[in-house]
Amino acid sequence: MKNLVKESVAKLKPYVPGFQPKDSSYIKLNTNENPFGPSPLVFESIKKELSENLRLYPDPVCSELREKVAELYGVSYEMVVFGNGSDEILSLIMKAFVEKGERVCAYTPCYSLYKVLCAIYEAEFLPIPYGSSFSLSCPDVFAKLIFLTNPNSPFGFCVKKEEVFRVLRRFPGLFVVDEAYGDFWGDTFIDFVKEFPNIFIVRTLSKSYSLASLRVGFGIGNKKIVEAIDKVRDSYNVNRISQVAAFAALCDQEYKNECIRRIVEVRDWFVSEIEKLGFYVYPSQANFVFVVPPDGFSAKEIYKKLFEKKIIVRFFEEEGIDHGLRISVGKKEEMEILLSSLREILDGHSV
Ligand X SMILES: *Cc1c(COP(=O)(O)O)cnc(C)c1O
Residues in contact with ligand X by the rule CB under 6 A: 85-87, 111, 149, 153, 178, 180, 204, 206, 212, 217
Q: Nearest distance from residue 290's CB to ligand X, in Å?
A: 13
Residue 284: how many CB atoms within 10 A of its CB?
26
Q: Nearest distance from residue 266's CB to ligand X, in Å?
A: 19
Q: Nearest distance from residue 146's CB to ligand X, in Å?
A: 15
Q: Nearest distance from residue 29's CB to ligand X, in Å?
A: 14
Q: Nearest distance from residue 52's CB to ligand X, in Å?
A: 29
Q: Nearest distance from residue 208's CB to ligand X, in Å?
A: 11
Q: Nearest distance from residue 112's CB to ligand X, in Å?
A: 9
CA–CA gap between residue 118 and residue 237 (Å, rounded): 22
Cis, bond preceding 197 (omega within 30 deg of 0): no
* Residue of closest CB approach to ligand X: 85
Q: Nearest distance from residue 149's CB to ligand X, in Å?
A: 5
CA–CA gap between residue 267 and residue 271 (Å, rounded): 6
Beta bridge partners of 290: 326
Report the chain's terminal Cα–Cα distance, integer Å: 45
CA–CA gap between residue 142 and residue 104 (Å, rounded): 9
* Residue 107 vs 303, nearer CB to ligand X: 107
Is 209:250 a contact under the CB 8 Å cutoff?
yes
> Residue 56: which residues within 8 A CB-CB, separation 6 or more?
240
* Residue 330 vs 342, nearer CB to ligand X: 330
* Residue 86 vs 341, nearer CB to ligand X: 86
* Residue 214 vs 291, nearer CB to ligand X: 214
* Residue 84 vs 222, nearer CB to ligand X: 84
Which residues in 176-195 are b (16+ Cβ under 10 Å) and which e?
bbbbbbbbbbeebbbebbee
* Residue 149 vs 237, nearer CB to ligand X: 149
* Residue 30 vs 153, nearer CB to ligand X: 153
* Residue 114 vs 303, nearer CB to ligand X: 114
* Residue 58 vs 85, nearer CB to ligand X: 85
Q: Nearest distance from residue 176's CB to ligand X, in Å?
A: 11
Which residues in 322-334 are b (16+ Cβ under 10 Å) and which e?
eebbbbbbbeeeb
